[in-house]
Copies of this chain bind each other. A is one copy, B any other.
Amino acid sequence: MIEHASIASDSPAKRLSDSGLRATPQRELVYRSLLQQRDHPTAEEVFARIKSEMPTISLATVYNCLETLVQCHLIRQVNHERSSTRYCPNLRPHAHFHDETTGEIHDVDLPASLVEQLKSTLPADFHASTVEITFLGKTDKTA
């Protein structure tokens, strides 16, 4: 869907150490897993995907790594209703489209101008740092 959504320009190792954090094998593996399969997995899903490569890793560590990666802006959280938090390495401004039929989440690039227009609808004393936009609907996939 999204061809070459941006990756943090710095290496993850640099990004981590710039934040005073260590580039551990667990953190790098979790990050690589997210890059490899960009389908907004949950922590449990990441855990399942990387267990074979690092059988000793624990779910708690996966949660810790994901949180760390979010903190140093290498990945983002995606929440919908109250289901499990999902993670995404696409750092460009984008919205999420939730396919009600398949449950899949698709990234949708957003024109910066629209985001600005949205922010400008706010009362003067409201200063938004972030706008989150989530579509809910269906696709015509004839696949």
Contacts and interface: CB of A to CB of B under 8 A. Distances in A.
Contact of A122 (B82, B97, B122): B97
A82 to B, nearest CB: 6
A38 interface: no
Contacts of A131: 133-136
Interface residues of A, number: 38
Interface in A123-143: 123, 125-141
Contacts of A110: 121
A130 B80 CA distance: 13
B121 A140 contact: no
Contacts of A81: 77, 79, 85
A96 to B, nearest CB: 10
Nearest to A119: B135
Given A81-B79, A130-B135, A121 B111 contact: yes
A126 B111 contact: no
Contact of A121 (B85, B108, B130): B108
